[in-house]
Structure 1
Amino acid sequence: MEAIFVYTTFPDWESARKVVRELLERKLIVCANMREHEAMYWWEGKIEEGKEIGVLLKTEVSRWKALRDALRELHPYEVPLIARIDLDKLNREYSEWMARVLFG
Protein backbone atom coordinates (compact mmCIF):
# COMPACT_ATOMS: atom_id res chain seq x y z
CA MET A 1 0.00 0.00 0.00
CA GLU A 2 1.24 3.48 -0.89
CA ALA A 3 0.21 5.93 1.83
CA ILE A 4 -0.11 9.68 1.32
CA PHE A 5 -1.03 12.64 3.48
CA VAL A 6 -3.24 15.44 2.22
CA TYR A 7 -3.10 18.83 3.92
CA THR A 8 -5.89 21.40 3.88
CA THR A 9 -7.20 24.23 6.05
CA PHE A 10 -10.66 25.28 7.23
CA PRO A 11 -12.07 28.52 8.62
CA ASP A 12 -13.43 26.92 11.82
CA TRP A 13 -13.82 23.71 13.81
CA GLU A 14 -17.41 23.13 12.69
CA SER A 15 -16.61 23.03 8.98
CA ALA A 16 -13.44 20.99 9.54
CA ARG A 17 -15.28 18.33 11.58
CA LYS A 18 -18.20 18.21 9.12
CA VAL A 19 -15.95 17.61 6.11
CA VAL A 20 -13.66 15.16 7.92
CA ARG A 21 -16.63 13.10 9.10
CA GLU A 22 -17.97 12.94 5.53
CA LEU A 23 -14.57 11.86 4.20
CA LEU A 24 -14.38 9.15 6.86
CA GLU A 25 -17.89 7.94 6.04
CA ARG A 26 -16.98 7.75 2.34
CA LYS A 27 -13.84 5.73 3.30
CA LEU A 28 -11.64 8.24 1.51
CA ILE A 29 -9.42 8.67 4.59
CA VAL A 30 -8.50 6.59 7.61
CA CYS A 31 -7.69 9.42 9.98
CA ALA A 32 -7.42 13.19 10.31
CA ASN A 33 -5.35 15.32 12.65
CA MET A 34 -6.68 18.81 13.27
CA ARG A 35 -4.99 21.78 14.87
CA GLU A 36 -5.90 25.44 15.26
CA HIS A 37 -3.28 27.97 14.18
CA GLU A 38 -2.84 31.62 13.30
CA ALA A 39 -2.82 32.40 9.59
CA MET A 40 -1.72 35.42 7.57
CA TYR A 41 -2.38 35.51 3.83
CA TRP A 42 -3.16 37.63 0.81
CA TRP A 43 -6.83 37.78 -0.15
CA GLU A 44 -8.41 40.16 -2.66
CA GLY A 45 -5.50 42.59 -2.64
CA LYS A 46 -4.85 42.85 1.09
CA ILE A 47 -3.21 40.95 3.90
CA GLU A 48 -5.67 39.10 6.13
CA GLU A 49 -5.10 37.58 9.57
CA GLY A 50 -7.12 35.07 11.53
CA LYS A 51 -7.40 31.60 12.92
CA GLU A 52 -7.64 28.50 10.75
CA ILE A 53 -7.89 24.80 11.38
CA GLY A 54 -5.08 22.88 9.70
CA VAL A 55 -6.08 19.32 8.82
CA LEU A 56 -3.75 16.47 7.90
CA LEU A 57 -5.67 13.69 6.15
CA LYS A 58 -4.22 10.17 5.93
CA THR A 59 -5.10 7.91 3.02
CA GLU A 60 -3.82 5.66 0.24
CA VAL A 61 -2.67 6.90 -3.16
CA SER A 62 -5.53 5.14 -4.97
CA ARG A 63 -7.96 7.39 -3.05
CA TRP A 64 -6.17 10.63 -4.07
CA LYS A 65 -8.38 11.73 -6.99
CA ALA A 66 -11.63 10.89 -5.22
CA LEU A 67 -10.43 12.65 -2.06
CA ARG A 68 -9.33 15.74 -4.01
CA ASP A 69 -12.69 15.86 -5.80
CA ALA A 70 -14.61 15.41 -2.53
CA LEU A 71 -12.64 18.23 -0.90
CA ARG A 72 -13.43 20.51 -3.84
CA GLU A 73 -17.11 19.60 -3.48
CA LEU A 74 -17.37 19.92 0.31
CA HIS A 75 -14.87 22.65 1.18
CA PRO A 76 -16.26 26.01 2.34
CA TYR A 77 -13.36 28.04 0.90
CA GLU A 78 -13.64 29.52 -2.57
CA VAL A 79 -9.99 28.57 -3.17
CA PRO A 80 -9.11 25.67 -0.84
CA LEU A 81 -5.59 24.43 -0.26
CA ILE A 82 -5.39 20.73 -1.19
CA ALA A 83 -1.78 19.57 -0.95
CA ARG A 84 -0.73 15.95 -1.50
CA ILE A 85 2.31 14.79 0.45
CA ASP A 86 3.84 11.58 -0.84
CA LEU A 87 5.38 9.44 1.88
CA ASP A 88 8.67 7.71 1.27
CA LYS A 89 8.35 5.30 4.18
CA LEU A 90 5.64 4.34 6.65
CA ASN A 91 5.87 1.74 9.38
CA ARG A 92 4.40 -1.63 8.37
CA GLU A 93 1.88 -1.86 11.24
CA TYR A 94 0.33 1.51 10.46
CA SER A 95 0.30 0.75 6.74
CA GLU A 96 -1.48 -2.57 7.39
CA TRP A 97 -4.06 -0.85 9.60
CA MET A 98 -4.74 1.72 6.85
CA ALA A 99 -5.23 -1.08 4.30
CA ARG A 100 -7.71 -2.88 6.59
CA VAL A 101 -9.74 0.32 7.07
CA LEU A 102 -9.79 1.38 3.42
CA PHE A 103 -9.99 -1.99 1.68
CA GLY A 104 -11.64 -4.22 4.27
Structure 2
Amino acid sequence: MATIALVHVTFADAAEAERIGSTMVAERLAACVTIHPPCRSIYRWDGKMERGQEIPATFKTAGIRAGRLRAAILRLHSYELPVIETTAAEVDASVADWVDEATH
Protein backbone atom coordinates (compact mmCIF):
# COMPACT_ATOMS: atom_id res chain seq x y z
CA MET A 1 0.00 0.00 0.00
CA ALA A 2 1.00 3.61 -0.64
CA THR A 3 -0.58 7.00 0.03
CA ILE A 4 -1.93 9.73 -2.25
CA ALA A 5 -3.82 12.92 -1.46
CA LEU A 6 -7.50 13.40 -2.27
CA VAL A 7 -8.52 17.05 -2.54
CA HIS A 8 -12.26 17.61 -2.29
CA VAL A 9 -13.83 20.90 -3.46
CA THR A 10 -17.34 22.11 -4.30
CA PHE A 11 -17.94 24.45 -7.22
CA ALA A 12 -20.76 26.80 -8.18
CA ASP A 13 -21.55 24.90 -11.38
CA ALA A 14 -20.38 22.12 -13.68
CA ALA A 15 -18.63 24.51 -16.07
CA GLU A 16 -16.40 25.85 -13.29
CA ALA A 17 -15.61 22.33 -12.05
CA GLU A 18 -14.73 21.24 -15.59
CA ARG A 19 -12.61 24.33 -16.30
CA ILE A 20 -10.61 24.16 -13.07
CA GLY A 21 -10.37 20.36 -13.18
CA SER A 22 -9.01 20.42 -16.74
CA THR A 23 -6.53 23.14 -15.83
CA MET A 24 -5.21 21.19 -12.82
CA VAL A 25 -4.70 18.03 -14.89
CA ALA A 26 -3.12 19.98 -17.77
CA GLU A 27 -0.74 21.71 -15.34
CA ARG A 28 0.11 18.29 -13.82
CA LEU A 29 -1.02 19.37 -10.36
CA ALA A 30 -3.58 16.52 -10.34
CA ALA A 31 -3.50 13.10 -11.97
CA CYS A 32 -7.26 13.23 -12.45
CA VAL A 33 -10.42 14.88 -11.22
CA THR A 34 -13.73 13.16 -10.64
CA ILE A 35 -16.64 15.57 -11.05
CA HIS A 36 -19.65 14.31 -9.13
CA PRO A 37 -23.37 14.90 -9.72
CA PRO A 38 -24.88 18.07 -8.23
CA CYS A 39 -25.59 18.10 -4.51
CA ARG A 40 -27.63 20.33 -2.21
CA SER A 41 -25.70 22.30 0.37
CA ILE A 42 -27.08 23.98 3.48
CA TYR A 43 -24.76 26.43 5.21
CA ARG A 44 -24.59 29.59 7.26
CA TRP A 45 -23.13 32.64 5.49
CA ASP A 46 -23.15 36.27 6.62
CA GLY A 47 -25.39 35.34 9.54
CA LYS A 48 -28.08 33.71 7.36
CA MET A 49 -29.01 30.12 6.58
CA GLU A 50 -28.38 29.49 2.88
CA ARG A 51 -29.24 26.63 0.54
CA GLY A 52 -27.91 25.95 -2.91
CA GLN A 53 -26.84 23.45 -5.50
CA GLU A 54 -23.11 22.78 -5.88
CA ILE A 55 -20.90 20.48 -7.91
CA PRO A 56 -18.45 18.42 -5.82
CA ALA A 57 -15.16 17.29 -7.30
CA THR A 58 -12.34 15.08 -6.05
CA PHE A 59 -8.77 15.59 -7.28
CA LYS A 60 -6.11 12.88 -6.97
CA THR A 61 -2.56 14.09 -6.47
CA ALA A 62 0.73 13.15 -4.83
CA GLY A 63 0.92 14.16 -1.19
CA ILE A 64 3.89 16.45 -1.77
CA ARG A 65 1.94 18.34 -4.47
CA ALA A 66 -1.30 18.80 -2.52
CA GLY A 67 -0.32 22.27 -1.25
CA ARG A 68 0.42 23.55 -4.76
CA LEU A 69 -2.85 22.06 -6.04
CA ARG A 70 -4.82 23.70 -3.24
CA ALA A 71 -3.20 27.10 -3.92
CA ALA A 72 -3.95 26.85 -7.66
CA ILE A 73 -7.60 25.91 -7.07
CA LEU A 74 -7.95 28.77 -4.60
CA ARG A 75 -6.64 31.28 -7.19
CA LEU A 76 -9.17 30.15 -9.84
CA HIS A 77 -12.22 29.44 -7.67
CA SER A 78 -15.22 31.80 -7.87
CA TYR A 79 -16.20 31.54 -4.20
CA GLU A 80 -15.09 34.15 -1.69
CA LEU A 81 -14.24 31.33 0.74
CA PRO A 82 -13.95 27.96 -1.03
CA VAL A 83 -13.62 24.96 1.25
CA ILE A 84 -10.75 22.82 -0.01
CA GLU A 85 -10.34 19.62 2.02
CA THR A 86 -7.35 17.29 1.74
CA THR A 87 -7.34 13.69 2.93
CA ALA A 88 -4.67 11.02 2.70
CA ALA A 89 -5.85 7.83 1.00
CA GLU A 90 -4.21 4.42 0.95
CA VAL A 91 -4.01 2.95 -2.54
CA ASP A 92 -2.15 0.17 -4.30
CA ALA A 93 1.46 1.04 -5.05
CA SER A 94 0.73 0.94 -8.80
CA VAL A 95 -1.94 3.65 -8.38
CA ALA A 96 0.43 5.82 -6.33
CA ASP A 97 3.10 5.38 -9.03
CA TRP A 98 0.60 6.50 -11.71
CA VAL A 99 -0.42 9.56 -9.64
CA ASP A 100 3.24 10.45 -9.05
CA GLU A 101 4.09 10.03 -12.76
CA ALA A 102 1.05 12.05 -13.89
CA THR A 103 1.90 14.95 -11.56
CA HIS A 104 5.61 15.23 -12.35
Partner of 1:91: 92
Give 1:86 shift.
1.3
Give 1:99 shift.
2.2
Partner of 1:52: 54
* Residue type of the alignment partner of 1:4: A
Give 1:96 shift.
2.0
Give 1:8 shift.
0.7
Give 1:92 shift.
2.0
Give 1:97 shift.
1.7
Partner of 1:26: 27
Partner of 2:67: 65
Residue-pair matches, total: 102
Specify the SS of the correspondent of 2:28. coil
Show structure 1 runs of 4+ deviating over 4 A.
none
The yes-or-no answer on 1:102 pairing with 2:103 is yes
Specify the SS of the correspondent of 2:7. strand
The yes-or-no answer on 1:4 pairing with 2:5 is yes
CA–CA distance in structure 2, aligned partners of residues 31 and 86 of structure 1: 16
* Residue type of the alignment partner of 1:28: L
TM-score by length of 2: 0.90
Partner of 2:80: 78
Cα deviation digits, residues 37-76 of structure 1 (max 9, x gap): 1111111111111110011110001111211110111111
Two-structure CA RMSD over aligned residues (Å) = 1.3
CA–CA distance in structure 2, aligned partners of residues 95 and 61 of structure 1: 10
